[in-house]
Amino acid sequence: MKKVKLTDNFEVSPLIHGHWRLQEWNLSDRELLKLTEQLIELGITTFDHADIYGNYSCEQLFGNALALNKNLRNNIQIITKCGIKPVSNRFPKRQTGYYDYSFDHIISSVNNSLENFKTDHIDLLLLHRPSPFFNPEEVAETFYKLKQQGKVLHFGVSNFNPGQYEMLDGFLKETLVTNQVEISPYCLDHFENGNIEFFLKKKIKPLAWSPLAGGKILNPESEKEKRIFSALSKVADELEVKSIDKIVYCWLYKHPAHVIPILGSGKISRIKKAIEAFDIEMSTEQWFEIYIASPGQPLP
């Protein structure tokens, strides 16, 4: 698969492997290494993390696997996120979950991530969620420091709206490279809040988390989920495709915003379906059939 350029000097794979549920896969270090090597052979070289994933354990699990084959680090791109401080048994004195984008916390979080991954740099650091308490000048200073030290090569955000993105970007010496947001036939929020138009205008390629809506699309229960499943099934029949998830990925790929899905599965068979979806030709009418099924009413 051809790499996708987020900037002139930074590329990621067109599919990203997400490690949010890595702890739940119960893989040994050796098994995780084997999975990682299989993914690289398939062309998936970018891996998405966050400091808090797995109650602060997933970065370390991945780092332990990478340590078994140190040559892999040169062939992959590591993304991680920081800023959320949840109530956690790791920090029993914390009474309230909140967001922290102070200089000290971002620096500390990055240093912890570097130690967990057993590496000297993070390819892409994202601020995990927008915060109502946010000092862009302090964040800009922190990013500059990390860049100068070589600890983080590129910066972005997650779950920001256009105004929040532009606000932070205006304070930085180097532009943000992406925004990781939820996009799926189930979640159309970013078609409605101006983000998709913003991505197109600024030529930002978004990373899409939860492209299968956490399984809601494949195992429908609510009326909305059933409508979407029905529309996906109809298009799948028309295109002679047996797998519903292939149609979902094709729906994402077709959009001119160049959406990059994050795959949260530890099963190679599921991941191969996402790769095979690149070969499916979906019509614009079929794309809209799926889109319209989500709100359940025709376009105005």
Task: Please give the radius of gyration of the chain, using alpha carbons only, rounded to the nearest integer.
Answer: 19
CB atoms within 10 A of CB 266: 18
CB–CB of 278/32 below 8 Å?
A: no
Nearest to 81 by CA among 116, 46, 113, 103: 113
CA dist 66 and 235 (Å) reads: 40
Active site residue 53: yes
* CA 260 to centroid of chain Cα atoms: 8
The pair of structure tokens assigned to 242 is 């047996």
Q: What is the largest CA-CA distance in the chain?
A: 56
Residue from 53, 101, 165, 253 carrying the catalytic annotation? 53
User: What's the angle, vertex CA 288, arms to CA 231 and CA 280, rounded to 5?
Assistant: 75
The pair of structure tokens assigned to 209 is 């988390």
Query: What are the residue numbers of the active site?
Result: 53
